[in-house]
Each structure stands twice: as structure tokens, then as C-alpha cells.
Amino acid sequence: MEFSAIQIATFLSGTVEGDPEVKVYNVAKIEEGAPGMLSFLANPKYSQYLYTTQSSIVLINNDFELQGEVAATLIRVPDAYAAFAQLLGLYQQFIQSKTGVSSLSFISKDASYGDDVYIGEFAFIGDRVKIGDRVKIYPQAYIGDDVVIGDDTVIYAGAKLYAQTVVGKCCVLHSGCVIGADGFGFAPQEDGSYRKIPQIGNVVLGDNVEIGANTCVDCATMGSTRIQDGVKLDNLIQIAHNVELGKNTAIAAQTGVSGSTKLGSNCIIGGQVGFAGHINVADGTKIGAQSGVLGNVKKEGEELMGSPAMKLKDFLRMSVYMKNIEKLVKRVDELEKRLNEKQQ
């Protein structure tokens, strides 16, 4: 599907500089542009590519000042990065416009679904499932009994939703994610063995939640594991039983959140962070990659890093000390040597 510069500018409320009728059919990085491609420039580090790119159209910020001639047609917008993301969202809607229910899917006779849904081959829809309008369930997805799925949600191939899971509107669940598996609950016995503690709760996802590929969100022992509106989880994350994640919190890959821990709203968590169980983390907390959070974070907006996690400025100071530790040890050894010589 092709779009002209004037069509794109109209959609973005932007201004065209160049040929308004030039057309594009795909997108590309500005440094890898080719005729018929749309690119954007938001990071000043890539400014030199604006003058050499082969892309037909480039989105730039309104305040960007040209330093030379540009062959591409330019579309000026307030925020080129945000505008490009908006276009990608539109493009994704076009390529994911599937509807219809495959005859090779299994849908329980007492399940229900709304208008304009897509249910792909070998998808399984269990008893009493309720699916909203315009939901897309890709092949081989598993939707357990009594699951509720809100309007405009997308569930990709191979995702697994255990019984009683509740999914809000406009969510995206990527391939291989498992929502509602048993929490890690076992009671030690006198003989050294473990007795499994039944996990009878569920998982509740709010609206606009995105769950990455192969991420696991465990059901609650009792009650609900809760992921609030706008939360974004990367691939390969473990969210344990009875965890609560506040609105618009974003967590990068390979992070693990232990049972009954509560993260506030608008937190940003780097990759491979580990959280101890039964702790509370304040709103707006930012935690660097590979940190270990062992206790409560009470102050909002705190920036932490390290294991155990500490204030970022303390971590950076310690990092400088560690880089110079060999020199410091040699100086101490030399001072001790001189002191011993004076004492003799």
C-alpha cells in the first residue's frame, strides 16, 4: 500500500517541503534508506544521513535547521519520533486487519465472542470464555475456562492464558507468554520434601498492557496478581504470585519480581533486576540493570543501582573506587612498608 507525502502530512498535521506527491510503500532507517522508503530524524547523531539518504520521505522536527541540500521530501512535525511511531501503529493496523473464525479452531459451545474477531487455526477457546469486539487470537493460542478478554486485544500464536485470567482492552500478549500459571508455593515438610500449596487465585491485566514473548505472570495463591493499566513487560520476565504492578510501569527483559511485591506507578526497571518478596517500591522509581532490590523503596522518584541496590550517585562513586582499587591497595602497602621501616 502506497501513501503520498501530502497524505502522510495531512494525517500527522505536518508541513511538506518538497514534492507533495512523492509516494512511499515501506519504512527504513535513515542511514539505510532507499527509493520508496519513509525514514525519520530525531537523534542529532544521525543528522549527517539526512543529506545522503536515498529515502523518498523523511520526517524531521519543526525546529530542525538544514545545513545543506536534501534530496528527500521532508515533512516537518513537532516530534519526528512520536510521529513515526504513530505511522508505524497505522501500518500495523493495516497488516493485522484479519477477521474471521477458522474452522480448524476449537471454541467451546458456551464461549462467546464479539464482532470482527479473528480466531486462527488450532486456537483453543475454553468453557464460558468471553471475548470482546475486534479481538485477534492467533493460531495455537490457548484460552482457558472462564477467561475474559477485552475489546481490541491481540493474543499472538502460542500464548497461554490459564483459567479465570482477566485481560483488559487494547492489550498485546506476545507468543509464548504464560498468564496464570501456578505461583511458586511449596511448604517444607519434616522429611525434607515439599508439599504443593494450591494456587487458587487468578491474574488481572488492565487496559493497554503489553506482555513480551516468553514472559510469565503467575496467578495469585489467593486473590489476584494485578498488572495495572499501561504496564509494559519485555520478553523473558518472571512476575510471581500476588505481585502488583502500578500504572505505566515498564520492565526490561530477564527481570524477576518475587511474590507479593508491589511496584508503584511509572517505575522504570532495567534488565536482569531482581526483587525480593513482600516489599513495596514507590511510584516513579528507576532501577538500573542487574540491580538487586532487597527492601522497601519509600521515596518516590528514587534512582537506584547495584546489588544490593543503592542510590545511583553512591553506586557511581563506588564504581570509581573499584576501578582504582589496585592503585589504592599498592599505596596502602607502600605506606605500611614505610611506617614499619620508621618504627624499626
Tell me the C-alpha distance between 14 and 4, whole Å: 13
Please, how many CA atoms are within 13 Å of residue 101, restricted to the half-sphere of its CB? Answer: 15
User: Which cell numbers in the block locate residue 26?
Assistant: 515501506
Amino acid found at 163: A
Spell out where 37-103 has E strands: 37-40, 57-61, 73-77, 100-101
Which grid cell is 102? 477458522
Alpha helices, DSSP H, located in the chain: 5-12, 80-95, 312-323, 325-343
d(CA 277, CA 298): 15
Catalytic residue among 169, 174, 241, 247: 241
Using alpha carbons, list the distances in angstroms from residue 185 to 72, 243, 341.
60, 14, 62
For the chain, give the number of residues: 344
SS3 at position 236: coil
CA distance 206 to 249: 12
Distances in Å between the Cα of 211 and the Cα atoms of 148, 155, 167 are 16, 10, 11
In sequence order, what DSSP letters do the residues of 258-305 get, joined into one string? Answer: -TT-EE-TT-EE-TT-EE-SS-EE-TT-EE-TT-EE-S-B-STT-EEE
**CA separation for the pair 14, 61 (Å, rounded):** 10
Residue 241: active-site member: yes
Residues 196 and 205 sit within 8 Å (Cβ to Cβ) = no
Grid cell listed for 222: 489467593
Residues annotated as part of the active site: 241
